[in-house]
Amino acid sequence: MKIILLISVAFLINVHTDEAFAGKLFVSNERDNTVTVIDHESLKIISTIPTGRRPRGLITSIDGREVFVCVGDDDRIDVIDVEKLKVVRTLDPGPDPELLDTDPSGERIYIANEDDAMVTVMKATDGEILAQIPVGVEPEGMRVHPDNHITVATSEETSMAHFIDNETLELEDNILVDTRPRHAEYTRDGKQVWVSSEIGGTVSVIGVENREIIKKISFDIRGIRSELIQPVGMRMSKDGKYAFVALGPANHIAVVDTKTYEVKKYILVGQRPWHIEIHPDGSKLYVANGLTNDMTIIDVASLKATQSVPVGRLPWGIAFAK
C-alpha cells in the first residue's frame, strides 16, 4: 500500500513538473489504411491520417518529431510529422515491413521484413540501408537494447529470438522459444529480454548476457480455454515492477511481477488486444483492441481499465508522441 502511495505521489509530481504530460497517441488501423491521432488528455480524435496499405508497427522517433509507420502492403515506411499530422516522407525498407524500433541515439531504425526473412537496418534521416541481416522466417518482434549494444528480433515461423550485434550488424545468437514469437521487450534494468509466443501461449524470459531462458511464464484465466490465450504485445511499467502482456483472443492484459514472474492480475479489455504502449510518465497503458475497433486505457496505479475510445478498424499498434 505504501509503495502504491509513493508511486502515486511520484505521478503527481510528474503532472506538475514534466512537460511530457502533453501528448498524442498514434494508432495504426490495419483495415482502414489510416493512423488515428488521439489527444491523450481529452481522448478525442484529433486527426485520421491516410497512410499506405496495411499499416501495422509504428514508433516515435527519438527526437519526438516523427512517427515511423510500417505499411507492409506497399513495401514502405510512411513518416508522419507529429506537428503537421501528415505523411511528410517515405522510406524504402525492402519487402513487407511489419514492426520496427529505433536505436537510443535516433540514428538508425531496425525493421522486420516479414515476407523476406530479413532485418533491415537503415539511417533514420535519409533511409540509407546499412545492412540487411537474414534471420528466421517471418521476423516480427524487433527491439533495440537500451544500451544500444544488441537488437533482438523474433521470427514467428522459426520460433526464435535472434540476437543481432549492433556494432557488426551480424547475428550473434538464435534462441529457440515457444511457437510463434511475436514481440520482444527488455526489462527496465536491461538485464532480461522477454519474448511473447502467440501460439505457444507463453512468455520466455531470456538473460541478455548469458542468452539462456531463465523462465517461461504461462497464463491461466478462469473460464477461458488455454487455446485462446495468445501473448503478443508487451510493455514494462516505468518502475520496472510489472510487465504488461496483451493476450490476444483471451481479451485480457496480464500484469506480471517481474521479480517473482507471478501473474498479479488479468485486466479485461476489448477483443483481441495486440500491441500496447505506456505513457512516458508511466501512469497510463494504452491497448489496441483489433476486433472491437477501440483502444482501452488502463490506469497503472490502480491496475484498472478506466475507459475505451473508438479508433479505426482493426487497430494494431500504438505510439506516443508529445
Partner 1 sequence: MTFNKYIFIVIAYVITMSIPCYAENEKLVQFFYLGKDYPSSPPLSLLEKILTDEGIKGAHLSMEVNNQMGRMFDYKFELKEIIVAKDEDPVESVKKHLQQSNKLIIADLESKDLIKLANSPATKNAIILNINAEDDDLRVSECHNNVFHIIPSLSMRTDALAQYLIWKKWKKWFLVSGKHQTDKDYVKAVARSAKKFGAKIVEQRSYKLETGNKRVDSGHQQIQTQMPMLTRGAKKHDVVFVADLNESFGLYLPYRTAEPRPVVGTYGLVATAWHRSFEQYAGTQLQNAFEEFAGRIMTEKDYLAWLAIKLLGKAVIRTQSIEPETLRAYILADDLNLAGYKGRPLSFRKWNQQLRQPILISSDRALVSVSPQEGFLHPKFYTDTIGFDKPESKCNLSSS
Query: Quick one: DSSP state of residue 71?
Result: E
> What is the DSSP pairing of strand 76-81 with strand 86-91?
antiparallel
Residues 158-177 that bind partner 1 (CB under 8 A): 158-160, 170-171, 174, 176
When the beta carbons of 148 and 158 are compared against partner 1, the nearer one is 158
Which of 55, 97, 141, 200 contacts partner 1 by CB under 8 A?
Answer: 200
User: Distance between CA atoms of 93 and 96, rounded to whole angstroms?
Assistant: 8
Among 222, 225, 259, 260, binds partner 1 (CB under 8 A): 225
User: Which of 76, 108, 180, 252 touches partner 1 by CB under 8 A?
Assistant: 180
Residue 201 as a binder of partner 1 (CB under 8 A): the answer is yes
Among 138, 185, 277, 294, binds partner 1 (CB under 8 A): 138
Q: Does residue 119 interact with partner 1 by CB under 8 A?
A: no
The upper half-sphere exposure of residue 21, i.e. CA atoms within 13 Å in the direction of its Cβ, equals: 12
Of 121-129, 199-207, 259-267, 276-284, the window that binds partner 1 (rule: CB under 8 A) is 199-207
Return the SS3 of 74: helix
Q: Which residue has the cell 501528448?
A: 23
Answer yes or no whether residue 135 interacts with partner 1 by CB under 8 A. yes
**DSSP code, position 6:** H
Residue from 199, 213, 221, 263 touching partner 1 (CB under 8 A): that is 199
CA distance 23 to 10: 19
- Binding to partner 1 by CB under 8 A, coded x per residue (else -) over 66-105, reads ----------------------------------------
Distance, in Å, from the CA atom of 192 to the CA atom of 194, rounded to the nearest integer, reads 6
Give CA–CA dist 154/140, Å, rounded.
Answer: 6
179: contact with partner 1 by CB under 8 A: yes
Collect contacts of 45-49 with beta carbons under 8 A, ≥24 apart: 45/309, 45/311, 46/85, 47/85, 48/312, 49/80, 49/85, 49/86, 49/87
- E strand or H helix at 11: helix 2-17
Nearer to partner 1, 282 or 315 (CB): 315
Task: Determine, following the binding rule CB under 8 A, whether residue 317 of this chain makes contact with partner 1.
Answer: no
- Is 281 a binder of partner 1 (CB under 8 A)? no
DSSP tag of 7:
H
Asked if 178 interacts with partner 1 (CB under 8 A), we say yes
Binding site for partner 1 (CB under 8 A): 114-115, 117, 134-138, 156-160, 170-171, 174, 176, 178-180, 199-201, 225, 227-228, 230, 249
